[in-house]
Amino acid sequence: MEVLVDENGRRAALHDATFRSLHETPKQVPLVWLYDERGSRLFDEITRLPEYYLTGSERELLVAHAADIASFNRAETLVELGSGTSDKTRLLLDALATEGSLRRFVPLDVSEEVLVSSAYAVAEEYPAIEVHAVVGDFERHLSAVPGGDRHLLAFLGSTIGNLPPDTRGRLLDSVAGTLGLGDALLLGLDLVKDPARIEAAYNDSHGLTERFVRNALFVLDRELGSDFSRARFYFAAFWDPESEWMDIGFNSVGAQIVRVPSLGVDVSFVDGERLRVEVSTKFRRDRFEAELEVAGLSLERWWTDAEGDFALCLAVRARS
């Protein structure tokens, strides 16, 4: 286990990021507040809901193409960014083990509690490979990934869609700088489709998504002494057709002031004002291929499920 984010450093960085985001338009909460231990468990429950088609579609694609992916670059090290429980990743582990190339698995996640649990589980299930878990932020700590052999970097679940375009571009730039000859990047991408189906996935009948997103407010209050979690914000997740993303967060019930003692600020909201917690971008092949090219990456494989809901994208560093 390698811990790159100690508690003091993590707290200072989060406080700075939260101070800045609460002064943006619209006001925002940094995405990382979603993924404490409870939030990570709630998200795992969400991925099992029938409305949340993303997980089933991505699993279908991995079942169909994991062997193709394994034979493409015969990775010796599988790196998973934002690894969580590494549930679907076992399909890649199995395929690479069958290929006979895999020596090491490197899960990287900011949630230490979930990472420890999943890393031990993988180590028990795959005793022939080394498990090198990294507690860190994939936006800042890609350089911590052990080098020296052939890598497959997996970023599944369309998690890259939670990043705004500029942040997504920086991450792809960083990945391109990390990949060597023979390395590859595997991305899961949720695709643009009927907005009603997309909205249903984030407004599930069990209310799990609301509980997951609202948990971020409880975490804020616990860590910063604020009072965001009182019943003066109502959950709202809707499709933004211009940006082609889901906008997920809360609107203020009436005018109010939220005090955030640890940051030394009072945050004012007018009635109905937005507090965004995350976005979830949906992708089109041509536009995303252009993003890869800007970052110096080349699209090698593109697979979609039968309905065209979801894609697996395999990319390598572009030849200069």
Q: What is the pLDDT of residue 114?
A: 76
Whether the CB-CB separation of 114 and 84 falls below 8 Å is answered with: yes
pLDDT surpassing 60 at residue 179? yes
Q: Is the pLDDT at 68 greater than 90, yes or no?
A: yes
Task: Provide the CA 181 distance to its chain's centre, in angstroms.
Answer: 26
Q: Note the Cα 25 to chain centre separation in Å.
A: 23
Domain boundaries, the chain: 27-34+197-281, 53-193+284-317
Residues facing 130 on adjacent strands? 104
CATH 1.10.287.180 for the 53-193+284-317 domain, yes or no: no
Q: Is the pLDDT of residue 3 over 70?
A: no
Query: Is residue 96 within 8 Å of residue 78, measured between CB atoms?
Result: yes
* Phi (first) and psi of residue 17, to 5 degrees: -65, -40
From the list 60, 27, 47, 25, the residue with the least C-alpha distance to 208 is 47
**Burial (CB count within 10 angstroms: exposed 0-12, middle 13-18, buried 19+), residue 303:** middle
| Mean per-residue pLDDT over the chain, rounded | 91
1 has pLDDT over 70? no
Is residue 271 classed as helix, strand or coil in its secondary structure?
coil
pLDDT band for position 44 (50/70/90)? confident
The residues with which 259 forms a beta bridge, in sequence order, are 266
The values of phi and psi at residue 246, to 5°, are -85, 135
Structure tokens at 247: 């906008």
Averaged pLDDT for residues 18-35: 93
Sequence letter at residue 202: Y
CB atoms within 10 A of CB 116: 14
- Token duo for residue 286: 């041509």
Pick the more confident residue, 10 or 101.
101
CB-CB neighbours of 227 under 10 Å: 16
Question: Contact at 8 Å (CB) between 298 and 184?
Answer: no
Residue 245 tokens, joined: 């993303």
- The amino acid at residue 289 is E
Of the candidate ranges 29-43, 53-67, 210-224, 245-259, the one whose mean pLDDT is the lowest: 29-43
CB 72 within 8 A of CB 101: no
Mean pLDDT of 32-39: 86
pLDDT in tens, 299-313: 999 999 999 999 999
Cβ neighbour number for residue 297 with a 10 Å cutoff: 23
Tens digits of per-residue pLDDT, 83-131? 777 788 999 999 999 999 999 999 988 777 778 888 899 999 999 999 9
